[in-house]
Chain A
Amino acid sequence: MSKFSRRQVLQGAAATGAALSTPLVLNAAAHGYTNDPTKSGKLVFGFNVPQTGPYSEEGKDELRAYELAVEHINGEGDGGMLNTMTVNGEGPALKGNGVLGMKLNYVTGDTQTKSDAARASARKMIENEGVIMFSGGSSSGVAIAVQGLAQEKKVIFMCGLTHSNDTTGKDRKRYGFRHFFNAHMSGAALAPVLKNAMGGERRAYHLTADYTWGWSQEESIMNSTGAIGWETVNAVRTPLKTSDFSSFLTPVLNSGADVLVLNHYGKNMVDSLTQAVQLGMRDKMVNGKQLEIVVPLYSRLMAQGAGENVKGIYGSTGWSWQLTDAGSQAFVKSFGTKYGFPPSQAAHTCYVQTLLYANACELAGTFDPAAVIPTLEGMDFDGMGNGPVHYRADDHQCFKDVLVVKGKDNPSSNFDLLEIVEVTPRAQVEYDSNLYAGDLGPI
């Protein structure tokens, strides 16, 4: 074959490519904002949670909460927190007929607790299913990764459970919002309680999940316990995939530390705590003091997983179904009616985030992020658990009361494993938004 035909082939290929790409380029330039539901005629939210991996229990509970929120927004069920919430001093703008008169649909995805898989799943939601907002979490690594994607694709991401300071700190994004509390607040709330319970002269040994959340929590807890006079003996990083922690736990006993801080979450925490208790750590005396274990971020699901072993162990949590305010009660009631057991803190934050976003759209009168984002920024709301809450505009972090909890000695049921030791008021956990400097970026 002559060279002429090869050129022809290449030219043909190039011409075809150029011709095919034209409509798509025009299409991209012409649209107002990504996935406008009023154009497609379908309103879709994306729920991207870990259904596999070490955080899958939390993820499944989040999914239940999302389904419940969609029901309530569409006017099905008993309405839950729609009956109790107030935003900027007024009742909810949502009317129980979907959002802005459109029925709400949703799609789900599996993040597998991996940043790569989560991004792929989120891209599929944005590019293929046309979601106007997506939400999810349970790992800060994942939350930060998809939040970056949200910024690039200009689709709002309402963070689910993510506790790293970085999410609204150095990695904060204009298109990302977090209702959940963070490691800094855990430290600020826990330190005074720990000082009362264990004294001001302690030597702590940290085991830390080796990714952004672990690093961030380790730093925050070290700082706040340092302020009450504790010394950190050592901090060891453990891979997220670890399920046998014995090789990490044995050195603790020879280190002279009298407090073990487990910066672990989900199945990691269940495994490390159970194995620590099996090693007899709870009965050890070091430096003439009882060896104590602290789990800075606690959840009821983890307590259930670890069972007996959580007795007397301190930690902090964002929300508990035992709270008695009207909002929490309404949520627990509708969740319990639908699923037969109480919701976890992960479920709570995801439920609230979905309602808040939908309500902000209703308030703004449009789904356009350019109008919805300013509505969410600086919003004050109440009646959704944890008392009055403020969505700080500078870093998109919510400020609310934090709960310090302890494993109950005599639990009455499998769900009643944690008792609330103290409700730390919002003022005590607030910090300057420049403490963890970042840049939200443009709308």
Chain B
Amino acid sequence: MRKRDYFLLFIFAAVMLSMPIWGPFIDAGYPDIMQRFAVFGLIAVGFNLLFGLTGYLSFGHAAFLGIGSYTAVWCFKLFTMDVIPAIIASTIMGGLVALILGFVALRRSGIYFSILTLAFAQMMYSLAYSVLTPLTNGETGLQLALGDARVLDRALGTNPESGLPSTSFLGFGVSNQGMTGYWICAIVAIIGFYIALRITRSSFGIMLRGIKSNQTRMSYTGLAARPYLITVFVISGMYAGLAGGLLASVDPLAGAERMYWTASGEIVLMTILGGVGTMFGPILGAGIIKWLEAKLSTFNESVVEQAMAFLPDSIEHSFAVVASKFVGEGWHLSLGVIFMLIVIFLPGGVMEGLQRLVGLFGFGKTKKQGADTSTPAE
């Protein structure tokens, strides 16, 4: 780690920790969305370790997220409502499943690898949705119940006398107290970012880049690429499992929906939108997508008409009809358009855009420049 990297870490920590202050200015100052920023930022960072460094595009990362969530909820049900064991268990579980999948899928590369991971994720989704109903509670989603064992809580006498308990962190309420949940997510995300930074800068990280730029040449120098790939795939799976565990910790419910292929696609989108291979890009992408989702998906036709009230009536109506297709349930349309524009004009994602902006105004070494230490992929 160089001086600049500590600076990166400092910026990231400052941004995460000050979110309750700047969040309200973009109408995102409430715990639910801030938690989403942190959790999906974390999963995008983990995904970027795999995709950004090795170029292996996994289309099944949502499966690890879902497995992490189910593990965490089971941990709450069986052992204790404290989030620490749940988070650890979900990380380990994410890693374990990634090890098994990696062992199989990493025999192939390129599109075959992507398809294998996609197939795996869909298989996991179907299992959770209808086959493993006793484990996952299918469509209804896995939830806490009154009759849950909670062995540790009962042994320690922290089980409430009536009603369902909330998740807790060393005695502090988490799921019933939004902000505690956010601080946990933010701290974990900062630690995750730090570890990712260390990995990227390590010799292991350089080896992974070597695999990306020319795997054949790496083989000729006598290096077996697969162990490296499996390792980074497992790490990436652990990030996703951890993110799933965090999601379940702040809201103890796990549904199969979060393993659906669109959820996997969303993680890929986040990374590409923000800038593959950069440290900040994936987090930025995650933030942008989660923010758009929260805002655009709640707009409806009447909101659009209000916003366009300054136009003459006839134009206003036709404008509103067109615009309303891009908000509400159709917000994915807007996302698609933004994504296409970014990929066509800024192949390096939003980070490249920022870099160009900085270049345009000719600030030599500003804070933004510091973020772009690594070149975007392809």
Contact = CB atoms under 8 A, between A and B. Distances in A.
Interface in B1-16: 1-3, 6, 9-10, 13-14
Contact of B10 (A13, A28, A174): A13
B3 A1 contact: yes
Contact of B144 (A128, A148, A170, A210): A148
A21 interface: yes
Contacts of A9: 6, 9-10, 13
B179 A25 contact: yes
Contacts of A1: 1-3, 6
B129 A239 contact: yes
Nearest to A27: B179
B253 A115 contact: yes
B177 A110 contact: no
Contact of A21 (B33, B138, B145, B179): B179
B148 interface: no
A440 B177 CA distance: 20
Given A1-B1, A17-B183, A21-B179, A120 B143 contact: no
B305 interface: no
B213 interface: no
Contacts of B253: 115-116, 119, 145, 148
B31 A127 contact: yes
B179 to A, nearest CB: 5
Nearest to A53: B329
A1 to B, nearest CB: 5
Given A1-B1, A110-B297, A441-B162, A141 B146 contact: no
A150 to B, nearest CB: 11
B316 interface: no
Given A13-B190, A123-B251, A440-B163, A210 B138 contact: yes
Interface residues of A, number: 53
Given A21-B179, A211-B140, A128 B30 contact: yes
A109 B32 CA distance: 15
Given A17-B17, A174-B163, A28 B179 contact: yes
Contacts of B32: 120, 123-124, 127-128
Interface in A339-389: none
Interface in B319-364: 328-329
Contacts of B31: 123, 127
B39 to A, nearest CB: 12
A9 B14 CA distance: 10
A320 interface: no
A77 interface: no
Interface in A44-72: 51-52
Nearest to A122: B32
Contact of A153 (B17, B145, B176, B186): B176
Nearest to B138: A210
B309 to A, nearest CB: 19
Interface string A144-174: 1100110111100000000000000011011
Contacts of A127: 30-32, 178
B308 to A, nearest CB: 20
A170 B146 contact: yes
B179 A17 contact: no
B226 to A, nearest CB: 33
B141 A20 contact: no
12 contacts: A1-B6, A9-B6, A13-B14, A24-B20, A28-B177, A51-B329, A115-B257, A128-B33, A145-B140, A439-B162, A441-B162, A442-B160
